[in-house]
Amino acid sequence: MITTPWQSFPAPNATSAMPAASASFTTVTSPPMALANRFAPEHLVVDREALARRPLTAGAVFIGAYSAQAAGDYATGSNHVLPTSGAARFRGGLSAADFMRVMSIQRITRAGLARLAPTILPFARAEGLDAHAESIEIRLQ
C-alpha cells in the first residue's frame, strides 16, 4: 500500500504540501516497490529493512516508523537537496562530490598507442569520425 500522509494535514498545510509532496514523497508499506521505483521519489519511506535491500530508485530512503524525512533533511545525513520530479532515476542527492572537479589525465607512449590502435580505429570509423581515426594513424607514421 502506498500512503500519502499530507492528505490528513490540517488546512492550509494540506493545500500547500500536496503539490510538492505528491512529486517527491512516497511511503511504501508492502510489495509495490516497482511502482515506487517508477515514481523515483525524492524521499522513500519503507516500513522494514528487507524492502531497503531491494534495488531502489529514490533520492533518500528512510527505514521504519522513526526515520522521518525531516531527520534526513536536517540531521542524519542525506541533506535537504535531493532530486525531485523523478530525477532520482538518474541522480542522487547533492553531496560534497558535486563541488569537486574531476578529470582524467592520460599519458600514452608510442608503443602503447600502437597496441591500442586496433581497438581505436574500428570504433572511430564505425562512428563516422574519420578525423579521430586519422589522428591515431598520423601519430603512428
What pLDDT is recorded for position 29?
52
DSSP string for residues in 50-64? HHHTS----SEEEES
Is the pLDDT assigned to residue 12 strictly greater than 80? no
Q: Of 115, 116, 134, 114, which is closest to residue 124 (Cα–Cα)? A: 134
Q: How confident is the model at residue 1 (pLDDT cuts 50, 70, 90)?
A: very low
In this model, does residue 5 exceed pLDDT 80?
Answer: no
Residues annotated as catalytic (active site), given as ranges: 42-43
Q: Tens digits of per-residue pLDDT, 91-138?
A: 888 888 888 998 899 999 999 999 999 999 999 999 999 999 999 999
pLDDT at position 111 is 98
* Strand intervals (E) in 29-119: 43-46, 60-63
> CB atoms < 10 A from the CB of 87, how many?
14
Task: Tell me the domain boundaries of the chain.
Answer: 2-99, 110-139
With CA atoms as reference, report the closest residue to 65 among 114, 29, 106: 29
On whether the pTM is more than 0.75, the answer is no
Which residue in the block uniquely carries the three cell numbers 533518500?
60
Number of residues that this document lists for the chain: 141
- The chain-wide mean pLDDT, for the chain, equals 81
